Amino acid sequence: MPVSRFGRADQLFAKEKIIGAPLSSINAVLDLPQAIKDRLFFLRFGDLMARPEETMGRVFDWLYPDAR
């Protein structure tokens, strides 16, 4: 029997599944040492779609802080 789109979403976003597990691990970032947190960059997909040039500019500024 086919699963509804909502059922598929529930399965994928469950805590131990393909999307839910990585999303849950984002909460653990707060417990990491500052030296590791300084090496992380979070990008919201919505920002990339809405303002690609600005968002990619922020990514490159983070990757290459001395380039400008």
Q: What residue ranges do the domains of the chain occupy?
A: 1-31, 33-68
Q: What is the pTM of this model?
A: 0.62
Pick 24 or 32 by higher pLDDT.
32
pLDDT of residue 36: 94
Chain centre distance of CA 13: 14
